[in-house]
């Protein structure tokens, strides 16, 4: 399993930006499957199993109602931070799994969201 962190990004549908995001974590798990024979201590071979890709967003500012995004495929564009350093990337065929808006003790409103890679997009 690997976690990658990005400062900023945006969520788009068909090229139109619907949200700007901060505090993005991309979690990838290759689901390695070890094949062993008998009582061998080490696997004879390792293959990839069920792969998963999940994105968590700490804060998102939406231009649309996030509840309308159920069963909608979106694209997440990962961008460099304010200082211009870091990696960029684009993740397509992502689906919103959960969305929450809550208020902190300091009277800040924080929205968080989790997206997962759609295995077989139509």
Span 49-83, pLDDT tens digits: 667 788 888 888 888 887 788 778 889 998 877 66
For the chain, what percent of residues have pLDDT higher than 90? 6
Q: 3 or 81, which is more confident? A: 3
Q: Across-strand partners of 24?
A: 6, 57
pLDDT, position 3? 79
Q: pTM for the whole thing?
A: 0.70
Classify residue 57 by burial, with Cβ atoms within 10 Å: 0-12, 13-18, 19+: buried
Q: Residue by residue, what is the 3-state secondary structure of the chain? A: CEEEEEEEEEEEECCEEEEEEEEEEEEEECCEEEECCCCCCCCCEEEECCCEEEEEEEEEEECCCHHHHCCCEEEEEEECCCCCCCCCEEEEEEEEEEEEEEECCCCCEEEEEEEEECCCCC
pLDDT, position 115? 86
pLDDT, position 50? 67
pLDDT, position 17? 92
- What's the average model confidence in pLDDT over 82-95? 79
Asked whether 51 and 116 are in contact (CB, 8 A), the reply is no
- What's the average model confidence in pLDDT over 7-14? 89
- What's the average model confidence in pLDDT over 28-52? 76
Q: Lowest mean pLDDT of 43-47, 88-92, 96-100, name the range.
A: 43-47
pLDDT, position 121? 52
pLDDT, position 84? 61
Asked whether 70 and 96 are in contact (CB, 8 A), the reply is yes
User: In angstroms, rounded to a whole number, what is the distance separating the alpha carbons of residues 32 and 49?
Assistant: 5
Q: What is the rounded radius of gyration, in angstroms, for the C-alpha atoms of the chain? A: 18
């Amino acid at each position: 399993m690997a976690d990658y962190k990005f400062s900023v990004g945006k969520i788009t549908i068909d090229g139109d930006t619907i949200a700007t995001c901060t505090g993005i974590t991309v979690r990838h798990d290759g689901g390695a499957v070890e094949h062993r024979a008998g009582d061998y201590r080490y696997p004879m071979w390792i293959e990839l199993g069920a792969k998963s890709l999940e994105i968590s967003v700490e804060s998102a500012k939406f231009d649309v109602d996030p509840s309308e995004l159920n069963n909608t495929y979106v694209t997440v564009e990962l961008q460099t931070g304010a200082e211009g350093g870091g990696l960029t990337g684009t993740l397509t065929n992502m689906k919103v799994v959960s969305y929450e808006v809550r208020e902190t003790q300091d009277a800040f409103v924080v929205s968080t969201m989790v997206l997962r890679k759609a295995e077989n997009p139509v």
